[in-house]
Amino acid sequence: MFTRATTLKRSLLGTAALLLAGGLAPALAQDNSHGSDAAAAYSPSMTTLGEIRVEVPGMKPGDPVMTDAEFQAATKIYFERCAGCHGVLRKGATGKPLTPDITREHGYDYLESILTYGSPAGMPNWGTSGQLSEEQINMMARYLLLEPPAPPEWGMPEMLDSWEVIVAPEDRPTEKMNDINIENLMSVTLRDAGQVALIDGDTLEIRSIIDTGYAVHISRISASGRYLMVIGRDGLVNMIDLWMENPDTVAKIKMGMEARSVETSKYEGYEDKYVIAGAYWPPQYVIMDGDTLEPLKIVSTRGNIYDEQTYHPEPRVASILGSHYAPEFIVNVKETGKILMVDYSDLKNLKTVEIEAERFLHDGGLDSTHRYFMVAANARNKIAVVDTKEGKLTALVETEGQTPHPGRGANFMHPVFGPVWSTSHLGDESIALIGTDPEGHPEQAWTLVDSFYGLGGGSLFIKTHPNSDHLYVDAPLNPDEDTSASVAVFKISEMDGDRETEEDYTVLPIGEWAGIEGGQPRVVQPEFNKQGTEVWFSVWNSKDQESAIVVVDDATLELKKVIKDPRLITPTGKFNVYNTQKDVY
């Protein structure tokens, strides 16, 4: 049933090399027979960044010709598909800068080619995957040769206009009113439908589909485990009460126009008291009431880059975590390279510790003790380590890979090095292990103890569980369709720690198991159930194609179930309530 890694890996690397060298891959045949009524009917309830009408920059001699309609359409595509990596103002971060001085040097043909075929370094193949048509690729290549437009601001008046308490706290249940095992519930992002699916981890059945913001990025759980917070890329935050007979949204607010992160207060005595959300545009974070999402404090992150001491107009808020050691939120500011320890014990006299780390901060998680925070400065190929107990930078670790993208990362006990935290990479096939035990293994602490190869570049998530002996690594953004539909699995107990030899791995053909025809299904984000006995994968296809959730038995690595439903439109992130609530990863 399984294919060993070595032969497949060589063929994939050959394909990647061909693409990098400019070789052309054939376009994929598209099957549009799968209807998506929910996706077609979905319209965001509030303004999204992609729907803002922008001012067309003044055309200069030599500029490519674009009509106003084309410019507005291209801006919408850019904000919805590209801004997350390249920035609203196209100044770059995870992705390369795309300002006209750079794009014009490369030229139209280069832009059209990279948009069509992608690259193994993590650039999606928008054309050959069928996500964008040939006409849209042509339009986007011209658009990137022009000056970027700047969207409007979004402040307290706009937030208050959007804020809605649907069920007041006093009208909510005083005890759980359903039979759902909430701790084993999965919140699954249905990206292009603007929804989340709540799937029962015990029965593997969909219990509810809830309308949310566009392209929900993450789900987070309140400290009590009662409230599910989701944030869409359009900045809409939904608070979902899991105690209701039919879990649903009880409050919502649009806290920005482009956003990625939400978190709740976890420190003892402040459980469920506050919610924080961070925006990409405008660059700011907002602290809200934990019962109603009433906006209480808005803080801009515009300022100077930590090392150059030059002003940056768009320092976006990336990941946010709640500290277990102090009443603080850990706020990562991407472009300035600063980690902010925001003390929420007194919002009127807000105290913030500003830690100079590295650019460009993205995502990360806690080590197994929950004391040390590990975050990827992914354009600098480093992991910043922060001691949340002392509020200080502990280390900057080179990963030796290109563009680390850990998600929350994966903690496990290595047979040789003891406790480690791991990340995979967008830009190459390497997997990095960093020692995290300064007391028991001081020589390995905060150093790169091992690096080995997985399937290929384009990885977004790496995952394990305290009860598992397996480490799972995806590669959904790899342009090779076999790679993007598969997952590499490493056996932890057999890792030898010898950097002269490659760690062997097993390939799970998740896309093949899903039995989907048409499109380019991408397998993304392994997520465990509460017990650590099953691992779930999203088989993410385009919105007019069939998608699925594949559940695998962790002990045997055998297929357990394929969950298919017409409502599962573009499933991406999955978040188990207990694991997310307790920071188990």
Long-range contacts of residues 169-174, Cβ cutoff 8 Å, at least 24 apart: 169/291, 169/292, 172/241, 172/243, 172/244, 172/250, 173/241, 173/243, 173/244, 173/245
Quick one: how many helices (H) and strands (E) in the chain? 11, 36
Active site residue 362: yes
Active site residue 34: no
DSSP state of 282: T
Catalytic site residue from 82, 229, 244, 374 = 82
Largest CA distance in the chain: 67
CA distance 140 to 143: 5
Catalytic site residue from 46, 66, 123, 139 = 123
| Nearest residue to 470 via CA among 412, 387, 537 | 412
Long-range contacts of residues 14-17, Cβ cutoff 8 Å, at least 24 apart: 15/480, 15/483, 16/120, 16/456, 16/457, 16/478, 16/479, 16/480
Cβ(381)–Cβ(401) below 8 Å = yes
* Residue 59: CB atoms within 10 Å: 12
Give ∠ CA 386-392-394 in degrees, rounded to 5: 55
Give ∠ CA 130-136-139 in degrees, rounded to 5: 155
Active site residue 66: no
Q: Which two tokens stand for residue 175?
A: 């005890």
Active site residue 405: yes
Catalytic site residue from 34, 46, 66, 85 = 85
Instruction: Report the SS3 class of residue 134.
Output: helix
Cβ(230)–Cβ(216) below 8 Å = yes
Cβ(475)–Cβ(454) below 8 Å = yes
CA distance 341 to 370: 15
Q: What percent of the chain is helix, strand and coil (3-state, nearest 5)?
A: 20, 35, 50
CA distance 474 to 486: 7
Cβ(432)–Cβ(451) below 8 Å = yes
Pairing of strands 164-165, 248-254: antiparallel
Catalytic site residue from 362, 414, 425, 441 = 362
Active site residue 414: no
Catalytic site residue from 34, 86, 370, 465 = 86
CA distance 274 to 270: 8
92's torsion region: left (phi>0), alpha (psi -120 to 50) or beta? left
| Nearest residue to 213 via CA among 49, 345, 82 | 49
| Nearest residue to 517 via CA among 463, 451, 564, 466 | 564
What are residue 559's DSSP bridge partners?
A: 552
Identify the sign of the CA torsion 66, 72, 73, 74: positive
Cβ(368)–Cβ(419) below 8 Å = yes
**Residue 215: which residues within 8 A CB-CB, separation 6 or more?**
80, 189, 191, 192, 194, 232, 233, 234
Catalytic site residue from 405, 414, 441, 465 = 405
Say how far residue 127 (Cα) sits from the centre of its chain.
22
Active site residue 123: yes
| Active-site amino acid positions | 82, 85-86, 123, 362, 405
